[in-house]
Structure 1
Amino acid sequence: MQVLKFGGSSVANSANIQKVTDIVASAIQKEPTVLVVSALGGITDLLLKTGALASQADETYKTVLKEMETRHLDAVRELLPIQQQSATLSLVKQQFNELDGIYDGVFLLGELSPRTKDRIVSYGELLSSMMISAKFQSLNIDQLWVDSRKCITTNSNHGNAAVDFAATEKNIQSHFAQKPHQLYVVPGFIASDVNNNTTTLGRGGSDYTAAIFASAVRASALEIWTDVSGMMTADPRLVQNAKPISRISYQEAMELSHFGAKIIYPPTIQPVMSRNIPVWVKNTFAPNEYGTLIENNSAVTDSFIRGISSISSISLLSLEGSGMIGIPGFSKRLFEALANESVNVILITQSSSEHSICVGINEVDSAKAKQTIDNVFSYEIQTGKVEPLKVESGLSIVALVGEQMKSHPGVSGKMFGALGKNGINVRAIAQGSSEKNISAVLSAFDVKKAINVLHEEFFETSYKQLNVFIAGTGNVGGKLIGQIKKQFQYLQDELHLQIEVVGLANSRKNLVNENGIDLGTWKEQLQQAPDGSIHDFVRTIISKNLRNSVFVDVTANAEVATVYGSLLEKSVSVVACNKIACSSSYESYLKLKSLAREYNAMFLFETNVGAGLPVIGTLNDLLRSGDKVNRIQAVLSGTLNFVFNNYDGSRSFASVVKQAQEEGYTEPDPRLDLGGTDVMRKIMILAREAGQQLEMDDISNEYFLPQSCFEGSVADFYDEMEKQEAHFRSIYEAAAKQNCKLKFVAQYENGKASVGLQHIPAESDFYHLYGKDNLVLFYTDRYPEQPLVIKGAGAGADVTASGVFADILRAR
């Protein structure tokens, strides 16, 4: 004999019931079958809602009751041939008349006791099972409707009754021996006590009913039919890439169901495990899919973690005090107090010093738990031996489950390392001695992120996903998006890395899509996006709380630079093309570096110096490997190098600068380049990275621009340069007379830095520096005379974007 159970979604309406009928009709060809069914989808909740309305003297309960009756009557008419409907329609009407009488009593008394609740909700399963039984009868199948209340005996704990297995097994075996049939249709969820009062087995109890019957009849198999194709490695509503679990052990299934996996009601496993009865979890709407097989030994797979589950709405109770140390009985009194208030303990952890003990409970029980525990320990609290109970709510438990964990060291380290890298704070930890699960208590806000992080860490062999938010969609930003789009498949295939651009922001608009923005149509999408500031953008990033988040600043905006700290504090890595943050006060620069370390985030700004050239990375490698930087000489402005390589007096200096701006080499305001401010920022950043405390005021700047060029707008600047052409020509001619070239050189030595225009002779490394190229010379203990040289294009949207892209890849 086999047992098949179908849940509420499987019997939600007549169309779904027809699918159930087809599956069962096929199954009974193999062997006799017990069919256990739930109430029609949503009916149990409606029955309870109607009872609550009636107890509050709210006459709208009659409307809800009528709607439920109509739904069942309509289902009968759709399921059965018209000539066979009468008896079942009458039966349904009779059941609803009984319900109406019960609700009237509740209405008059203004009271809804647990016993009455059980009686009311029992009608859901009674009605569905009677209707389905009538359907099989109409098909001339040898079937019998069995009232599970006559078979399953429980205590009188209404709402979650405990089963008397000895009496129940005797009842079921006796019932089936007397009345052999091909099919038995049984209402799930309901039972009765020794006084024949209706009881229920807890929400989800239809699974339990099926397991009880399977154990009693020694079934060949128990099949749980639902609306998903078996158990998954994580909740697919939270994890997009959750994978099906083909085989799992009883113990693993119990752990996952206890920690929130909704596929199977937790008590279901025990009755079938004791008889070694295999359990299949199958999909009513995809019956040919394999599903999940639960049995004594699960198959060995590539992953030693079987699944990840979670429980929400948890409160953490912490009992602490020096008076607990070495004194026996504290734990007993704590758990006794909770048990007396029927508070279920979900998780326990205690420090080895015995100074504290923490337990996780359902949030709804936290108030009464605190009251009773504070009462029990009132003497110890008054005498200062124990602190008043601390209650922390708004928490969840995330559990990593797998029998094979015990043979794989380092699972805990991998788990908590992955969580820590994503800024997920763990409030408490518990691991059983059997090592079948590791449980962590964390903020409910972090649950989705945590489950995705862990799923990626333990199950994603194909790729890791970076969620990228880009501020700035101009020239460099546009090039960066194009490069990410072009390299998307390559990165996934070769580096097992998927970069999802999930956010874009310009000066007016914010576009966010956590499933990824289509990079083929991003411009159109951004135009249609809602208005928003950079602060709105940052608030969205923080509220989305996505794993492996990277914020990329490709602006030159001072306001954007102010948000880095708030992002780093949330473990969002920051990639900055914008030089303003790192060239602000030394204190601010150190603060950002410190936040990155403290919150396990990356703060990367390679393109602050030399665009795509590996200048900062090389400097950091030198220092990390124990070298010491003694002197830096550099041409750090691609703009100034381009200008002085192209200016020969044959055309105006202003026109050459204009060309540089049009070709994308300059800052939006070219005076930042020509005035040396940009170069000052760059040499200061290098000096700071080399370990020198330096401010902008500490850097000397030999200006070559007349002061009048700094006044007014950018347009005024160009006009003034035209007026000052003689000045620029004289600078050029002075260098040419000495057979020198003009280069704007930055220097750092002995803790001091300077920038300025210099005459460069032919023997200098800087002489043969063409176009927009930068050149950096590092003189160190290892390179004292022949410097380490870095040379290449130091400006341009493409190379700058490529440097930003490289930093994004490092942030993974």
Structure 2
Amino acid sequence: MGSVESLRKVISIINNPQQDGRIVAVVVSAMNSVTDQIIEIGKRAAAKDDSYKKILRALEERHVKTVQALVGRREQETAFQHIEVLFDALERVARGVFLVREISPGALDYIMSYGERLSAHILCDALRSRGTKCEYVNARTLITTDSNFGHAAVDFKTTDKIIRKHFKAHPKMQIVTGFIATSPEGKTTTLGRGGSDYTASIVGAALGARAVEIWTDVPGVMTADPRKVKDALPVRKLSYSEAAEMSYFGAKVIHPPTMRPAELRHIPILIKNTFAPEEPGTVIGSSGLQSEALATGITSISDMAILEVEGGGMVSARGAVGRLFSALAREKVNVVLITQASSQNSITIAVAPKDADCAKLAIEEEFALERAANLIDKVEVRTGLSVIAVVGERLRRQPGIAGSMFQMLGKNGINVVAIAQGSSELNISVVVEQKDEAKALNAIHTGFFFPNTKYINVFLIGTGLIGGTLLSQIAKQDEFLKDEYGYVIRIIGLADQDKMIFSSGDGIVFGGEADGIDPENWRALLTASKSRMKLHDFLDKMKRIDLPDKVFVDCTASEEVAATYADILKARISIVAPNKKAASGSMKRYRKIGEFAKMPGVKFLYETNVGAALPIISTLNDLFLSGDEVLKIEAVLSGSLSYVFNEFTGKRRFSEVVRKACIKGYTEPDPREDLSGKDVARKILILARETGEVMELSDVKVESLVSSRARNAKSVGELFKRLEREDARFEKKKQLAQEKGLRLRYIATFEKGKANVSLQAVPPSHPFYNLSDNDNIVAFTTKRYNSTPLIVQGPGAGADVTAAGVFADILRTARDLV
């Protein structure tokens, strides 16, 4: 009933019913925001503020225009008379409030009744103008309540008799005002939140209707709030108990009082979308209608406070729980959740923040004697919390549910403050920090409703050769990974050295698999971005986005980025990095990163630091974990230098081969990075540290392949000119090796706590002799592999293989954390 268009939809639905059978009654609410405006009229009038008249006139004009849009010309005069009579009466009441400067609860209920009375008259007149036989009925003549204004309790015995008698005498379809009723003294009352739906349930139950349909602006009950969990699903069927639990813990589609009359008469409630009447909606009924999923829904209440009452004297305090609740009841404090330790030493309750101070005072006064005797501690209050509840009939007697839920939260670094589960086992409730609410909802929702789907939410910095290739590989494998293994990789954030983009703006909660930056179209999207890349801003936004299973991928060679790893891991975000700067940086930082990487729910994976996609670090770790002892590591760890010395044969000059390697993309843009040997030094340092060795980069002895003169060249072009002058030196080394039947290899060695990198000539019996192209090779000599080393060999350079290694590590974060 929100607008003229909404009313047209309603009329169409009434005249074209979805279900077989006759519509006996249509219960209507006020038009959108009308009730709030009428309340504002009353408040301003009571405050002697005559601006209430302006709101009243605007409200009347809105209803007149609605009549003009919906009611045929012949019937408009009658419809206008209905509107005029109601607004004249409302104006008189508002004038009276203005004069006495007071609005009582009873007067407020009477004023609020006009919203439903106006909309019911308009709908009735609109239907009549289309030839539909119907009658207007004021629910005050049907429903009798007590005099608790604002939230009146229904006298069902009297009400049922009146309703049956009325409908027996009026066979036409009745257009009933929702929300309002009357007291035994004949005063107007209202039924509280969800009052119009409640009215429909009352009427349907009294008449023994086949069904009660509630038409709203959503497709029914959802498995979670779609504003917080984008991949929330419609719930096709659920039991009355499930619906009540979900409503209690935050689901706003239907309210518990609405269901009770229908539930007592076993009448199903159908929730439908006014704007999509063809959709099936949600059926609420007996327990036989329970959802087929393990959980029916996940709901939450934001902004809660908890009070913790504890002390060794709680056990001896007779009737402690009863006294606590009595004290809270006297202050009219509503308790959302309660949990008590099995030792009986502590009780935790959750309340609205506005009630926290009052509740604390009430409890401390109730237990004043126990506190004076130091039997009970001071009541502690914590705010900024949320309650999350998993609801479902199938949770009953189902082993492992709680364990699965806590695993989902734990692996995403979400701390549980309190836990509660009723004996009915219909829901499991947890209290978490409010900042973690959306992340917790998404993690639990994925675990229960998409148990075979593993979402990986990627934030990628560095879109050069490796980063760009990685995105292409993700795009190519997307469907296969999803269909065969359940992996859904979403690129949520992306940045190069100039710009950054995110898949949506600030304040948007992500969830559905449709979210994410298109890995096929990333270049155009990044180019079009207006956000300048600032590392702090990128990382801050990544941390604030409430998504589980986040992975930061660093495809740069930046020391600045590497310096942030500890903080990223501390925020419970996994890291995948081909960037060697972190693992080969200072030992102090390396240890700090390692400590954070041991926390539950995060991984720091850097396999590609040493040999592109080759399983070198993982092999070394497996040896170590299985109890083997590494005696020596000998390796060719530069794919680019492997290529250089494999090609440096015959009449080819050294500078010529280096230039060719550069063109193929095997070397860094500036080949000095490779020729200096520092890159290889970092790699052997990383392997040494993996064995447990305490070592700094400065401890690695390195033989550089470039002279100081070439190293100081001002440009890459000048570097090659200077390398050409050194060709004779390398030619001499090659000739000496060939004369002895040896081949040149740039080898890193770690043995007996010492590491070095040097150019060596190896014989045909050496495992490194027959290397080809850009192969890397590592020989592990251990106690088990002593006479014959364990060899790992394969391509060690190139964007394709390195990106593939990064890709594998990204997938491993999801696999290892399950």
Question: If the length of structure 1 is used for normalisation, what is the TM-score?
Answer: 0.94
**CA deviations over 1:431-463 (Å, ceiling 9, x no partner):** 111111111122233222222222211112563
Letter of the 1:303 counterpart: A
The aligned residue for residue 730 of structure 1 is: 732
Q: Which moved more, 1:27-36 or 1:396-405?
A: 27-36
Partners of 1:208 and 1:809 in 2: CA distance: 50
The aligned counterpart of 2:110 is 119
CA distance in 2 between counterparts of 1:592 and 1:109 reads 71
**In the alignment, structure 1 residue 706 sits paired with structure 2 residue 696:** no
Shift of residue 477, structure 1, vs aligned partner: 0.7
Q: For residues 97 and 651 of structure 2, what CA distance do their matches in structure 1 show?
A: 100
Give, in whole Å, the separation in 2 of the partners of 1:556 and 1:57.
Answer: 70
Identify which range, 619-628 or 336-345, moves more after superposition. Answer: 619-628
Residue 511 (1) aligns with residue 512 (2): no
Q: Distance in 1 between matches of 2:133 and 2:334?
A: 44
CA distance in structure 2 between the aligned counterparts of 1:234 and 1:65, rounded to whole angstroms: 38
Question: Aligned letter for 2:528?
Answer: Q
Aligned equivalents of 2:663, 2:316: Cα separation in 1: 77
2:540 aligned with 1:520, yes or no? no
Q: Which residue of 1 aligns with 2:593?
A: 592
The answer to whether the 8 Å contact 1:32/1:181 transfers is: no
Quote the sequence identity (%).
44
1:95/1:545 CA distance change after superposition, 3 Å? same
Q: Indicate the residue corresponding to 2:302 in structure 1.
A: 312
- Cα displacement (A) at 1:106: 4.3
Q: 1:627 to 1:201 in 2, by over 3 A?
A: farther
CA, structure 1 residues 727+63, in 2 after alignment: closer, same or farther (shift >3 Å)?
farther
State the partner residue of 2:616.
615
Query: SS at the partner of 2:489?
Result: strand
**Residues 31, 182 of structure 1: 8 Å contact kept:** no
CA–CA separation in structure 1 for the residues paired with 2:292 and 2:788: 52
Matches within 5 A, 1:333-732: 333-381=323-371, 384-460=374-450, 463-514=453-504, 515-529=515-529, 530-648=531-649, 650=651, 652-711=653-712, 713-715=714-716, 717-732=719-734
Match of 1:157 in 2: 148
Distance 1:370 1:495 in 2: 51
Give matches, 1:195-344, under 5 Å. 195-299=185-289, 302-344=292-334
Q: Is the 8 A contact 1:36 1:187 kept in 2?
A: yes
Alignment: residue pair count? 801
Letter in 2 for 1:740: L
Alpha carbons 2:238, 2:290 under 8 Å: kept: no
What is the rounded CA distance, in whole Å, between the counterparts of 1:57 and 1:321 in structure 2? Answer: 53
Structure 1 contact 32–182 (Cα < 8 Å) conserved:
no
SS of equivalent to 1:313: strand
Cα distance in structure 1, aligned partners of 2:486 and 2:135: 56
The one-letter code sitting in structure 2 at the alignment partner of 1:570 is: A
CA distance in 2, matches of 1:395, 1:61: 39
Kindly provide the amino acid, as one letter, of the partner of residue 260 in structure 2: Q
Distance 1:556 1:714, change over 3 A: farther
Does 1:752 pair with 2:754? Answer: yes
Structure 1 773/24 Cα, relative in aligned 2: closer, same or farther at 3 Å?
Answer: same
Of 30, 42, 59, which residue of structure 1 is paired with 2:33? 42
Asked if the contact 2:291/2:392 (under 8 Å) is kept, the reply is no
Instruction: Please list every run of 5 or more consecutive structure 2 residues that lacks an aligned counterpart in the other structure.
Output: 505-514
Deviation at 1:480, TM superposition (A): 0.6
- Tell me by how many angstroms 1:111 deviates: 4.5
Deviation at 1:121, TM superposition (A): 2.0
8 A contact 1:570–1:599 mirrored in 2: no
Q: Are the aligned partners of 2:745 and 2:762 in contact in 1 as well (CA < 8 Å)?
A: yes
The alignment partner of 2:702 has SS state of strand
AA at the equivalent of 1:255: E
Contact map agreement 2:235 2:291 (CA 8 A) in 1: no
| Matching residue of 2:774 | 772
710-719 vs 740-749, which deviates more?
710-719
- Is the contact between residue 425 and residue 443 of structure 1 (CA under 8 Å) also seen in structure 2? yes
| Shift in Å, 1:652 | 4.6
1:577 and 1:386 map into 2 onto residues whose CA distance is 55
Structure 1 residue corresponding to 2:75, chosen from 72, 84, 107: 84
Verify the 8 A CA contact 2:397 2:425 in the aligned structure 1: no
What do residues 248-269 of structure 1 show as CA deviations (whole Å, max 9, x unaligned)? 1111111112111121122212
Deviation of 1:32 after TM superposition, in Å, equals 5.5
| Aligned equivalents of 2:217, 2:562: Cα separation in 1 | 49
Per the alignment, do residues 29 and 599 of structure 1 end up closer, same or farther by CA in structure 2, a change over 3 Å counting? closer
Amino acid at match of 1:147: N
| Structure 1 residue identity aligned to 2:81 | S
Structure 1 residues 645 and 32, CA gap change in structure 2 (3 angstroms): closer
Q: Distance in 2 between matches of 1:610 and 1:683?
A: 11
1:90 partner letter = Q
Note if contact 1:53-1:60 (Cα within 8 Å) is conserved in structure 2: yes
* Aligned equivalents of 2:46, 2:539: Cα separation in 1: 48
1:485 touches 1:519 (CA, 8 Å); kept in 2? Answer: yes
Cross-structure match for 2:745:
743
> Structure 1 residues 677 and 108 mapped into 2: Cα distance closer, same or farther (>3 Å)?
farther
Partner SS, residue 662 of structure 2: helix
Query: 1:713-762 CA distances to partner (integer Å, 9 max, x unpaired)?
Result: 45454454344444333333333333222211111223322221111112
Please tell me whether the aligned partners of residues 649 and 729 of structure 1 are also in contact (alpha carbons under 8 angstroms): no
Instruction: Please report how far the alpha carbon of residue 350 of structure 1 lies from its aligned counterpart in structure 2 after TM superposition.
Output: 1.3
Q: 1:40 to 1:731 in 2, by over 3 A?
A: same
Q: Structure 1 residues 198 and 312, CA, compared in 2 at 3 Å: closer, same or farther? A: farther
- Residue 170 of structure 1: how far off its partner (Å): 3.4
SS of 2:768's partner is: coil
Query: Structure 1 stretch 195-204 or stretch 121-130: which is displaced more?
Result: 195-204
Report SS of the residue matched to 1:85. Answer: helix
CA distance in 2, matches of 1:158, 1:532: 58
User: Per-residue deviation at 1:685?
Assistant: 1.2
Note the C-alpha offset of 1:283: 2.1
Shift, 1:556, TM fit: 0.3
Amino acid at match of 2:307: L
Superposed displacement of residue 701, structure 1: 2.4
| 2-structure distance, mates of 1:22, 1:349 | 49
Please identify, of 593-602 and 165-174, the stretch whose mean Cα deviation from structure 2 is larger: 165-174
> Cα RMSD (Å) of the superposition?
2.4
Counterpart residue type for residue 306 of structure 1: T
AA matched with 1:408: Q
8 Å CA contact 2:471, 2:520 repeated in 1: no
Q: Which stretch of structure 1 is more off in the superposition, 233-242 or 221-230?
A: 233-242
The amino acid across from 1:73 in the alignment is: V
Superimposed CA distance per residue, residues 188-212 of structure 1 (whole angstroms, 9 cap, x where no aligned partner): 1122333333222222121111112
Report if aligned partners of 1:326, 1:354 keep a CA contact under 8 Å in 2.
no
In 1, distance between residues paired with 2:130 and 2:755?
A: 94
**Distance across 1 between alignment mates of 2:704 and 2:13:** 86
How many Å separate the matches in 1 of 2:603 and 2:216?
A: 44
Aligned to 1:3: none
Provide the TM-score with structure 2 as the length reference. Answer: 0.93
Could you say which residue in structure 2 is the equivalent of 1:810? 812
**Residues 141/301 of structure 1: CA separation in 2 closer, same or farther (3 Å cut):** closer
Residue 792 of structure 1 deviates from its aligned partner by 0.7
| Deviation of 1:668 (Å) | 4.2
Quote the offset at 1:33 in angstroms: 0.9
Identify if the C-alpha distance between structure 1 residues 50 and 687 changes in structure 2 by more than 3 Å, giving closer, same or farther. farther
